[in-house]
Amino acid sequence: MDIQSIALGFLSGVLLALIGGLINHKIKTKSEEQKAIEKAEYELFLKLNDLYQWYFWLATNELHKKETDDEIITTIHKIAVDIGQELHKNEDSEFTEQLLRILYDESYETYTQRWKEMSSLSEVMGKKVTPKHHKYLKQLNDSNLTYMAKSGFTPKAPGTSRFRLRV
């Protein structure tokens, strides 16, 4: 064996190791980026649902031509700012444009229109980020509407905003 064959074999091995390491690094980086986006979308989904629950009061009060309490307005604004900050950190979500529209677009003519768009987006996001959870909560929500329509309804489910507000 001559020295050239040994050197060529060594360089080939080093080159293959470098290429393998580079490929592994790219795959790992892509996987980490994907996990970060999935985590961000989950957090955005939770915050959107929180906003949706609070925004309900604006839509309802608009329908009944009532003023909305300042506490509710403040809470809605805080949640919207949180969503905006999360979007600023995570621009790569497939939901970024729709969320920005919900937060900042003044073209909605009523609170109810914006509230319904929140509902639609929540539906789409829920199917992606928490498919099993989303399906079961949808069933609960549908059955809860029946209970809430009854005279004398008192909210008892501790996870709902109605429970916290006692309405």
Q: Is residue 16 part of a domain?
A: no
Q: Are 96 and 153 in contact (CB under 8 A)?
A: no
Reduced DSSP (H G I as helix, E B as strand, rest coil) percent helix, strand, coil of the chain, to 5: 80, 0, 20
Model confidence at 117: pLDDT above 90: yes
In a domain, 146, yes or no: no
Within-domain flag for 79: yes
As for how many domains the chain has, the answer is 1
Half-sphere exposure of 96 (CA within 13 A, CB side): 13
- Residue 163: inside a domain: no
Q: Quick one: tokens of 4? A: 């050239």
The range of the structural domain enclosing residue 104 comes to 35-129
Question: Who wins on pLDDT, 134 or 95?
Answer: 95
Asked whether residue 73 is assigned to any structural domain, the reply reads yes
- What are the pLDDT digits (tens) for 71-110? 999 999 999 999 999 999 988 899 999 999 999 999 999 9
- Tokens (6 digits) for 146: 């029946």
Which among 63, 49, 62 has a CA at the least distance from the CA of 118?
Answer: 49
**Res 144: pLDDT:** 83
Residue 35: both structure tokens together:
């996990």
* Residue 6 included in any domain: no
In this predicted structure, the answer to whether residue 161 has a pLDDT above a threshold of 70 is no
Closest by Cα among 112, 110, 13, 140 to 56: 112
Whether pLDDT at 1 is above 70 = no
- For residue 121, the 8-state DSSP code is H
